[in-house]
Amino acid sequence: MSIPSPAAQSNGGPNVSIIPEAVIRIAGNSQDGIQAIGGFLARLAGRSEQEVMTFMTIPSTISGGPSIFQVRLGAGEVPSAGDEADVLLAFYQHSYEGHIGALKKGGIVLFDTDHVEPKAEWQQDYRHIGVPISSLTIEAIGGTAKDKGKNIYALGLLAKMFDLDVPKLENLVGERFGGKDPAVLNNALAAFHAGYSHALGQVLETYKFAASERKSKPQVVMNGNEALAYGVIAAGVRFGAAYPITPWSDVMEILRRELPKYGGTFVQCEDEIAAISMANGASFAGRVAVTGSSGPGISLKMESLGWAVMAEVPLVVINVQRGGPSTGLPTQVEQSDLNLACFGSHGDAPRVVMAPADVEDCFYTAIEAVNIARKYNVPVFILSDQAIATRIEAFPEPDFEHVCQDITPDFSPVADYKPYDLASPDGVTPRVVPGTPILSGRYPIAGGLEHDEYGHPTASPKLHMEMTARRRKKLQALAATLPVPTVYGPPEGNLLLVGWGSTRGPIREAVDRARAAGDSVSALHLKHLHPLPPGLENIFSGFNLIRVVEMNDEGLYGYGQLAGLLRARYCDARISGINKTDGLTWKVKEILEHARADIARGLAKM
């Protein structure tokens, strides 16, 4: 809704419109460097103190498959990637035809006339601007149409259209292509300037983003997988192990590359079970280790996770969720692993589950997960998802000296050590790790068998009851320390939208729009999912209807996975679900439609 028609709001001087934000969708094939354009725009926005959020699809084929990148740049808060694009940059006929529906009426379609034949019936609804991008790129830098460079040419076009900061973009291009053959950088800059100086046909005006409030701190720009990996490092984790799987793999690639700089090691294992087992071994031997995966890989880890629960060994397991079951939708998003994270593995096996809400939250959630694991000697799941993993956001750079932790264990001798001390009221016993002399001469065994206080096996009914309770009490103690989540919007009203994980942004945007239209809607975001934080009953009591918005199926009984948990926990018949399983993130308007339908029905379901 941000690009005005040519006549409106031309208050930035002749031919320049000041706009608060813009959604730009770039569509082509995966080898066209689409993500590079998106990345440049996102980082430019970060350096300009602009808010930025991107939405990227990974093509399911390695090369040649359709690829899109959507970037929303704005002067204010940018909570979601945007439902509709203001500008569509289409490199091919299939990109044009496949994505014009994502363009808002009156939006601009910028297309490569070398590959796209515009359709007459769409001329009325969308402003068409054709540029022979492929041939002009060849003209500018030589080579053949298959050569890279047209993405940078297109970046030049966009830079002109949105009056972007050219010196900053040149720096970004230099950082990306510098260090290689100087001819590569020269070609890139030549393509950029050719695009920038192209006369943009019938577009008479250009756009300028409104100045945003200056951020107190420099912004960093990265995706969720990067933020998770660096969060794990900041938390002090120095050992991890994993097996490659989409969309988790970038996290392990980063950790493998980066950990040695911090004195650590990350191991690529023969399989998923070896990976969690190696992490369990390292955690047993000293400090919290990390493993992670997606989809089927998480299923494979479940027996080992149960061992960590039984042996009370701290562990962090990252699950970058994708569509399931089985191989499912490897490159699309779903929130369908919540039940697995909370309850997977046989027996009564309590563990912690938490989910980051955005890219910045990935960084801090990793640190919190490590600290919960350390304090309570329990495995902690971080439920990220494909959407956060691949989207790029700008956030204030962390206070590094303050957040980076040293979690080297203490090896000072101890008099005696009962790892499973039943006298501890909250079930929490600080760990003593190998390397530490125990002066009593009694050394502990960490085992998967039910055990006595020193870890030796027992089949005593009394001990099994007490140890089961001990493992549960730890998490009850944790629950009592969790912060009561804050309601977004007024604490009382008609409708409360509850969400978790990556849906926080679009849910909040839906609340903003609903309230702007006069509807009584608020939202509640849950970061801690298992155990749940205290105080939710009070929050729920302020609303007539509670709808849990999730990217998973409504289930056999009509409730999504979090909705089911909340109903089981609070026995509150006003809780129901808004679910979808199309493998895509929530659009704001989809949430709004559900909310409006509830309101139109007079919230009859309650």
Q: Of residues 34-73, which lie at the interface with another protein (CB under 8 A)?
A: 43, 46-47
Kindly tell me which of 141 and 234 has the beta carbon lying closer to another protein. 234
Kindly tell me which of 395 and 543 has the beta carbon lying closer to another protein. 395
Kindly tell me which of 116 and 463 has the beta carbon lying closer to another protein. 463
524, 485 in Cβ contact below 8 A? yes
What's the closest the beta carbon of residue 308 comes to another protein, in angstroms? 10
Torsion region of 596: left, alpha or beta (phi above 0 gives left; psi -120 to 50 gives alpha): alpha
Kindly tell me which of 261 and 462 has the beta carbon lying closer to another protein. 261
Q: What is the β-pairing status of strands 315-321 and 289-293?
A: parallel
What's the closest the beta carbon of residue 220 comes to another protein, in angstroms? 5
Task: Find the binder of another protein among 184, 273, 482, 603 (CB under 8 A).
Answer: 273
**Which residues inside 341-370 make contact with another protein, applying CB under 8 A?**
none
What's the closest the beta carbon of residue 554 comes to another protein, in angstroms? 35
Task: Find the binder of another protein among 230, 500, 540, 586 (CB under 8 A).
Answer: 230
Task: Find the binder of another protein among 112, 226, 393, 453 (CB under 8 A).
Answer: 226
Task: Find the binder of another protein among 117, 147, 271, 416 (CB under 8 A).
Answer: 271
What's the closest the beta carbon of residue 436 comes to another protein, in angstroms? 5
What's the closest the beta carbon of residue 39 comes to another protein, in angstroms? 10
Kindly tell me which of 89 and 251 has the beta carbon lying closer to another protein. 251
Task: Find the binder of another protein among 157, 267, 340, 546 (CB under 8 A).
Answer: 267
Kindly tell me which of 304 and 502 has the beta carbon lying closer to another protein. 304
- Sheet architecture: strand order including 528-530: 265-268, 239-242, 289-293, 315-321, 379-385, 352-354, 528-530
Contact between 170 and another protein by CB under 8 A: the answer reads no
Eight-class DSSP state of 163:
T
Task: Find the binder of another protein among 101, 167, 441, 461 (CB under 8 A).
Answer: 441
Using CA atoms, how far residue 557 sits from 226, 241, 272, 404, 576, in Å, is: 37, 38, 32, 45, 10
The closest alpha carbon to 362, from 313, 316, 407, 302, belongs to 316
Q: Which stretches does DSSP call E strand in 253-335? A: 265-268, 289-293, 315-321
What residues contact 439, with CB distance under 8 A and at least 6 apart?
Answer: 413, 414, 415, 416
Contact between 97 and another protein by CB under 8 A: the answer reads no
Task: Find the binder of another protein among 98, 296, 448, 542 (CB under 8 A).
Answer: 448
Stretch that binds another protein, among 351-359, 441-449, 532-540, 558-566 (CB under 8 A): 441-449
Residue 361 and residue 224: Cα distance in Å, rounded?
9
Kindly tell me which of 117 and 175 has the beta carbon lying closer to another protein. 175
What's the closest the beta carbon of residue 182 comes to another protein, in angstroms? 20
What's the closest the beta carbon of residue 522 comes to another protein, in angstroms? 34
Task: Find the binder of another protein among 105, 146, 214, 261 (CB under 8 A).
Answer: 261
223, 254 in Cβ contact below 8 A? no
Residue 599 and residue 283: Cα distance in Å, rounded?
50
**Which residues inside 370-429 make contact with another protein, applying CB under 8 A?**
397-398, 400-401, 403-404, 406-409, 411-413
502, 357 in Cβ contact below 8 A? yes
What's the closest the beta carbon of residue 278 comes to another protein, in angstroms? 4
What's the closest the beta carbon of residue 471 comes to another protein, in angstroms? 17
Residue written as token pair 């990306």 = 176
Contact between 320 and another protein by CB under 8 A: the answer reads no
The count of residues interacting with another protein (CB under 8 A) is: 76
Stretch that binds another protein, among 56-64, 259-267, 320-328, 461-469 (CB under 8 A): 259-267
Task: Find the binder of another protein among 25, 99, 150, 238 (CB under 8 A).
Answer: 238
Kindly tell me which of 277 and 384 has the beta carbon lying closer to another protein. 277
Kindly tell me which of 450 and 492 has the beta carbon lying closer to another protein. 450
Contact between 602 and another protein by CB under 8 A: the answer reads no
**Which residues inside 285-304 make contact with another protein, applying CB under 8 A?**
285-287, 289, 303-304
Contact between 280 and another protein by CB under 8 A: the answer reads yes
Residue 542's CB: how many other CB atoms inside 10 A? 14
Contact between 264 and another protein by CB under 8 A: the answer reads yes
Rg, the chain, Cα only: 26
Residue 340's CB: how many other CB atoms inside 10 A? 22
Q: What is the β-pairing status of strands 51-56 and 66-74?
A: antiparallel
Task: Find the binder of another protein among 444, 489, 506, 564 (CB under 8 A).
Answer: 444
Contact between 437 and another protein by CB under 8 A: the answer reads yes
Contact between 242 and another protein by CB under 8 A: the answer reads no
Contact between 143 and another protein by CB under 8 A: the answer reads no
Kindly tell me which of 457 and 558 has the beta carbon lying closer to another protein. 457
Backbone angles phi, psi at 29, to 5 degrees: -110, 165
Residue positions counted in the chain: 606
**Which residues inside 193-222 make contact with another protein, applying CB under 8 A?**
218-222
Contact between 142 and another protein by CB under 8 A: the answer reads no
What's the closest the beta carbon of residue 399 comes to another protein, in angstroms? 9
The one-letter code for the residue type at 286 is G
Give exposure, 429-451, as e/b (b: 16+ Cβ within 10 Å).
Answer: bebbbeeeeeeeeeebebeeebb
Backbone angles phi, psi at 169, to 5 degrees: -65, -40
Partners of residue 219 on adjacent β-strands: 396
117, 156 in Cβ contact below 8 A? no
Residue 266 and residue 270: Cα distance in Å, rounded?
13
Partners of residue 266 on adjacent β-strands: 240
278, 302 in Cβ contact below 8 A? no
What's the closest the beta carbon of residue 70 comes to another protein, in angstroms? 20
Residue 189's CB: how many other CB atoms inside 10 A? 18
What are the tokens at 113? 């006339």
